[in-house]
Copies of this chain bind each other. A is one copy, B any other.
């Protein structure tokens, strides 16, 4: 079995931003000799997440509105009482971002068949920053033979 680990860095923008990382994952896959196996995409932060869905601009705006509806950034959250916890001076009030992350996924696993991601026609791997802007990292692990 071959295993290849590689970090992807993503520069994000204010608030919620959604980034299609499919091509970057495909590039890492193509550079290996793996024909059959899987790609594990792993978000390494507690206010970022992954999903596999359609990369259509207006749909992604609907997704942002949907997340904001279910976990409003203006809501009252215990985690945001920063004076009650030991926090660094630049700690953001981001409880809603954590809640949004938990409704999405920390990782996605995609089968590799004949050297390619076995995604459906409209599927893209989407990285969500739910508390930007920052530089974020995603670990891509490809395993197989």
What residues of chain A have their CB less than 8 Å away from a CB belonging to chain B? 1, 3, 5, 36-38, 40, 42-46, 51-54, 56, 58-59, 61-63, 66, 70-71, 77-79, 81, 84-85, 95, 98-99, 101-111, 113, 118-120, 122-123, 137, 139, 141, 143-145
How far is it, in angstroms, between the C-alpha of A105 and the C-alpha of B101 when the chains are bound?
12
Nearest CB in chain B: distance from A104 CB, A: 6
CB-CB under 8 A from A71, the residues of chain B are 66
Closest to A53 in B: B46
Within the oligomer, what is the number of copies of this chain? 3
How far is it, in angstroms, between the C-alpha of A40 and the C-alpha of B53 when the chains are bound?
18
Contacts A79-B59, A85-B56, A139-B118; A99 near B40 (Cβ below 8 A): no
Contact of A108 among B66, B106, B143 (CB under 8 A): B106
Interface SS, A side: mixed
New A-B pairs, 19, CB < 8 Å, besides A38-B143, A118-B139, A143-B144: A3-B145, A5-B118, A37-B143, A42-B110, A44-B119, A44-B120, A45-B122, A46-B52, A53-B102, A59-B78, A59-B79, A62-B77, A62-B78, A62-B98, A62-B99, A66-B99, A70-B70, A105-B106, A109-B109
How far is it, in angstroms, between the C-alpha of A105 and the C-alpha of B98 when the chains are bound?
15
Q: Quick check: B84 and A58 within 8 Å, CB to CB?
A: yes
Q: Quick check: A118 and B42 within 8 Å, CB to CB?
A: yes
